[in-house]
Amino acid sequence: MMHRLSGSLFWVILVALIVANVVVCWQSLTTYRFWEDEAFNLTVPRNLLAGLGYTSDGALSGSTLTPFDPRISTGASVLLPVALVLATGIDPVIGARLIPLLYWMLLLAGLWILGRRIAGRWGALVAITAPLAFQTGLSFSPIQGPADLLGEIPAAALIVWAFIVLPRRAWLAGLLFGLALQAKLIALIALPAFAVALWALTPGRGWARIGATARRSILPLVLTAAPTLAMEIAAFLTLGVTGYARHLRALGGFLLSGGQSEIPTTVFQKLSTLAESWFVSPWIIVSGVLLAAAVIIVALRARTAPLSPELLALALGALVGLVMFVGWWAQAAHTPLWVRHPAPGVFAFAPILAAFVVRALQASWRTGSFPRRLLAGAMTAALVVTLGGAAALHVQSALSPRGETLQAQRAGVEPLRAWVTNYSVPWLAANPWGGPVSAVVLSGAHLGLFDAPAMKDVPQLTTGSCTHGEPLVDSGAYRICAP
């Protein structure tokens, strides 16, 4: 009777979770506003299809066409497939967003596989629910939803699949990790997680084990570097020696600065921001993390949940990966309070660790005394209810988008798009950074920023008033002013 009840509950929750994902994905694809970073990223596949090569409009790099722009941190693993989709003639925004949405599905599929390996179907269920509990759309630089044209979720998906194949095909794991770097370079922070996992999978002890791990790492590391090396060779051939040297200096400066000039942040501010970035109370998150750690430690000490070498490697890799992402971001005072930075690690590793909590609770239920079984059952129920409630709140949030929607943007830009087409206007300068950036890209013109010297004689698109003269075209929401 209890088994049938558990089975029915599982299927009810799974169906509800599928419905929640459909709602969130559909809203992300068709309703959320097309925001600035998405617009900036879209200039690359658009220029590629126009015969301009792997080139951005360079809005943050002087507002001139910029091949292999270092400021475009979403990489070729996302933007090249987007170009292929757009080549079909599909609507640019919807077509571009389909690729990150596909990566979201790959992320959930990968987490299901790992969760099932760890703790059966309930581990899989918890693993695929956890990403919906993560609230990434509140900051100035958000991930609004799974379809945003950004690289964080694709990087997380590729990292998860690299862990899936690592035990038997380390070379393929290396290649997938290399593709994750070309989705978002910040994925490099996950490298220690793979090193620890590969060490745990290598037989032997002491220095001999370390040496064997190093030998096993050679081919995976070569394949990890291969996608980035291919892109850099293409950049060198495109830019030449002098141009490539400038490219490397600009890339180094961007990586060291994070592309921002913010007031320095503290570790406490970062950890507080991360705790608040969930669809549940931060106190529940903090308490849940502490209780989860206690459950796993007790299970390990009692030896009630023994791990195979593969699961041990996965557990160590996920723990190291999450600590590396959160730890790096927390101490990086030059980075803003944006959870986009640690998001690849949170999306990839937190659900895996949640599945290990389920495994530990299952072990306590099977082998513990009556009080321990009672406590394990209560904690399992609390985990399912908490994650389920967070997913429900995510759906509610998705159905009530804040501010401008994609439909409103399109309506506001349509008169401007017609004007750009009729007069064959090649460039528009966005004034300032923000909504006008998206409007410029939606208009079909190349994107510059109003304060760039190259934009001195270029019409400006703004949401404010023209500083001199009447607007060249005015849609109510946006207007184009003379240079």
Pairing of strands 446-449, 427-431: parallel
Alpha-carbon distance values, 144 to 92, 141, 388, 398 (Å): 18, 9, 20, 9
Residue 165 · residue 63 · CB < 8 Å: no
Separation between Cα atoms, residue 124 and residue 133, nearest integer Å: 15
Question: Does 368 have pLDDT greater than 70?
Answer: no
Residue 428 · residue 24 · CB < 8 Å: no
Nearest to 445 by CA among 456, 433, 460, 432: 460
List the end-to-end C-alpha distance of the chain, in Å, as a whole number. Answer: 75
Helix 36-49 with 92-133: angle, nearest 10 deg: 140
Q: Which amino acid is at 128?
A: I
Question: Quick one: what percent of the chain has pLDDT higher than 90?
Answer: 74
Which of the four pLDDT bands, split at 50, 70 and 90, describes residue 2? Answer: low
Query: For the purposes of burial, counting CB atoms within 10 Å of the CB of 449, is it exposed (0-12), middle (13-18) or buried (19 or more)?
Result: buried
| DSSP code string of 383-414 | HHHHHHHHHHHHHHHHTS--S-BHHHHHHHHH
List, as own/partner pairs, every contact residues 169-177 make where C-beta atoms lie below 8 angstroms and the sequence separation is at least 24, other chains included.
Answer: 170/198, 170/216, 170/217, 170/219, 170/220, 171/219, 171/220, 171/223, 172/223, 173/220, 174/219, 174/220, 174/221, 174/222, 174/223, 174/224, 175/220, 175/223, 175/224, 175/226, 175/227, 177/220, 177/224
Q: Which pLDDT score, from 0 to 100, does residue 261 have?
A: 60
Q: Which pLDDT score, from 0 to 100, does residue 303 have?
A: 66
- Quick count: other Cβ atoms within 10 Å of Cβ 110? 25
- Write out pLDDT tens, residues 163-203: 999 999 999 999 999 999 999 999 999 999 999 999 999 88
Q: Which pLDDT score, from 0 to 100, does residue 5 have?
A: 66
Nearest to 16 by CA among 478, 412, 387, 399: 387
**Taking CA 61 as the corner, what is the angle to CA 33 and CA 98, rounded to the nearest 5 degrees?**
35
* Residue written as token pair 């590629």: 48
Nearest to 146 by CA among 420, 394, 325, 432: 394
Question: Does 64 have pLDDT greater than 80?
Answer: yes
Q: Mean pLDDT, the chain, as a whole number?
A: 92
Number of helices followed by number of strands (H, E) in the chain: 15, 7
Q: What is the mean pLDDT of residues 345-353?
A: 97
Separation between Cα atoms, residue 453 and residue 465, nearest integer Å: 21
- Give the chain's length: 483
Separation between Cα atoms, residue 382 and residue 405, nearest integer Å: 35
Q: Collapsing DSSP states into helix, strand and coil, what is residue 66?
A: strand
Q: Which pLDDT score, from 0 to 100, does residue 299 have?
A: 72
Beta bridge partners of 462: 431, 479
Nearest to 2 by CA among 385, 377, 364: 377
Residue 472 · residue 419 · CB < 8 Å: yes
- Write out pLDDT tens, residues 439-453: 999 999 999 999 999
* Consecutive H or E run containing 102: helix 92-133
Nearest to 76 by CA among 155, 194, 165: 155
Separation between Cα atoms, residue 43 and residue 26, nearest integer Å: 23
- Quick count: other Cβ atoms within 10 Å of Cβ 203? 8
Q: What is the mean pLDDT of residues 344-350?
A: 97
Which of the four pLDDT bands, split at 50, 70 and 90, describes residue 260? Answer: low
